């Protein structure tokens, strides 16, 4: 009995010692464990832990389990959590620079998407900074394509459908496509289809595979309209309070996460598009007519976007086109 009590006390002592010396940080992320951005978040946390010899431990709370996706930026800003991951596009209403991420046909392959990110990054960092946030790293998604129940060869085929939206820009896009936008978060996609809340969506092959899209839609038209990204941001004050070597460890792990992300997403895009077909979906290249119609909408959206914040957006566009 005595021995047992002593053992428990010793264990408690160890736990307390760890919690006094080591910092515990919390990192909410929006998407589930099967998604590559979440896997990268776990690897990032692991690398920080090993680089700091366990002095900074980051707990990843995936799948919006700790904080709901739209609330994550505020949770980090207010210091409720120290860092978090967020889909850039959902911040589109905070400042138009975040909309660079969801503009159709601005960057449709990974090389262009990396270039666009280089061009947009200083503007994005500036805005995040104003909100008390520091950018750590970005993870891209595969290009966004069209999921429907029926084949689509022109916009007319989509007319009046309820279309999933996941950001202010995709809501606008849905309207310009002649469809009705409905905001639905990833975990709710299967149920939204089965209850008829949405009838079509534009997202990556990855998100389609994770939600078993073949259960509710048959056609995947590979329009590859844009390549969006998540960002991981840290509360600036929380970061500043760390000693220099811990800060350095975080920045190095973040640089590795970003490099790894751009590499993995290329493989993931291929693999997941094949998985859609392997599970019985009809995967097709878009018709020229559909592409032309969508391209026209892309031009309208670029114009509207520039009207919102001329100088910042022009800075992004001119750097991107260099
Ligand atoms: N999946 C996420 C973001 C982009 C993507 O490919 C979603 O559909 O919400």
Alpha helices by DSSP H, listed for the chain, are 2-21, 36-51, 72-77, 110-130, 168-176, 189-194, 205-210, 236-240, 244-278, 288-308, 310-321
Which phi and psi (to 5°) does residue 306 adopt?
A: -65, -35
**pLDDT value, residue 242:** 97
Structurally, the chain folds into a number of domains equal to: 2
- Quick one: 191 and 72 in the same domain? no
- Quick one: 131 and 257 in the same domain? yes
Q: How high is the mean pLDDT of the chain?
A: 93
Q: Which atom of ligand 1 is nearest to the CA of 185?
A: 9
Give 39-79 pLDDT, tens digit per residue: 999 999 999 999 999 999 999 999 999 999 999 999 999 99
Give 89-143 pLDDT, tens digit per residue: 999 999 999 999 999 999 999 999 999 999 999 999 999 999 999 999 999 999 9
Ligand 1 centroid–CA 213 distance in Å is: 13
Q: Would you say the CB of residue 207 lies under 6 angstroms from ligand 1?
A: yes
Ligand 1 centroid–CA 203 distance in Å is: 5
Q: How confident is the model at residue 15 (pLDDT cuts 50, 70, 90)?
A: very low
Q: Would you say the CB of residue 260 lies under 6 angstroms from ligand 1?
A: no
Give 192-246 pLDDT, tens digit per residue: 999 999 999 999 999 999 999 999 999 999 999 999 999 999 999 999 999 999 9
- Quick one: 295 and 177 in the same domain? yes
Nearest protein CA to atom 9 of ligand 1, as residue: 186
Closest CA to 98 of 120, 131, 71: 120
Mutate to test the pocket of ligand 1, among 88, 207, 229 (most ligand atoms within 8 A of CB): 207
Tally the residues of the chain.
322
Residues 6+ apart with CB under 8 A from 224: 108, 109, 143, 144, 145
Average pLDDT over residues 268-274: 96
Ligand 1 centroid–CA 144 distance in Å is: 8
Ligand 1 centroid–CA 260 distance in Å is: 19
- Quick one: 181 and 286 in the same domain? yes
**pLDDT value, residue 2:** 39
Range of the domain at 296: 145-226+281-320
Nearest protein CA to atom 8 of ligand 1, as residue: 203
- Quick one: 40 and 24 in the same domain? yes
| pTM recorded for the entire structure | 0.92
Q: How confident is the model at residue 21 (pLDDT cuts 50, 70, 90)?
A: low
- Quick one: 222 and 237 in the same domain? no
Average pLDDT over residues 286-305: 97
Ligand 1 centroid–CA 121 distance in Å is: 20
- Quick one: 130 and 217 in the same domain? no
- Quick one: 241 and 164 in the same domain? no
Domain containing residue 315: CATH number: 3.40.190.170
**pLDDT value, residue 20:** 52
Q: How far is it, in rounded angstroms, from Cα 70 to Cα 80? A: 14
- Quick one: 305 and 190 in the same domain? yes
Q: Considering 255, 272, 289, which residue would you say is the last residue of a domain?
A: 272
Alpha helices by DSSP H, listed for 22-155, are 36-51, 72-77, 110-130
């Amino acid at each position: 009995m005595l021995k047992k009590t002593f053992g428990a006390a010793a264990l408690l002592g160890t736990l307390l010692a760890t919690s006094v010396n080591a910092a515990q940080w919390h990192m909410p992320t929006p998407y589930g464990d099967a998604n590559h951005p979440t896997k990268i978040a776990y690897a990032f946390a692991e690398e920080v832990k090993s680089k700091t010899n366990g002095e900074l431990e980051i707990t990843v709370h995936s799948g919006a389990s700790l904080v709901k996706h739209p609330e994550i930026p505020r949770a980090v800003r207010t210091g409720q959590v120290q860092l978090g991951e967020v889909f850039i596009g959902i911040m589109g209403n905070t400042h138009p620079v975040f909309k660079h991420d969801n503009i159709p046909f601005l960057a449709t392959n990974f090389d262009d998407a990396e270039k666009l990110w280089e061009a947009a990054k200083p503007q994005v960092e500036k805005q995040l900074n104003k909100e008390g946030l520091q950018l750590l790293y970005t993870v891209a998604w595969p290009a966004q394509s069209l999921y429907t129940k029926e084949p689509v060869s022109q916009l007319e085929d989509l007319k009046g459908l309820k279309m999933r939206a996941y950001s202010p820009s995709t809501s606008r896009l849905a309207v310009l496509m002649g469809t009705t936008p409905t905001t639905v978060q990833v975990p709710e996609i299967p149920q939204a289809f089965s209850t008829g809340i949405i009838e079509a969506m534009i997202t990556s092959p990855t998100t389609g595979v994770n939600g078993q899209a073949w259960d509710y839609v048959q056609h995947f038209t590979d329009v590859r309209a844009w390549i969006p990204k998540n960002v991981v941001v840290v509360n600036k004050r929380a970061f500043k309070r760390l000693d220099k070597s811990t800060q350095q460890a975080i920045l190095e792990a973040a640089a590795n996460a970003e490099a790894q992300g751009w590499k993995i997403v290329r493989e993931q895009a291929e693999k997941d598009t094949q998985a859609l077909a392997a599970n019985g979906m009809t995967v097709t290249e878009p018709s020229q007519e559909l592409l032309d119609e969508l391209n026209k909408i892309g031009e309208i959206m670029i114009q509207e976007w520039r009207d919102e914040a001329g100088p910042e957006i022009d800075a992004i566009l001119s750097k991107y086109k260099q």
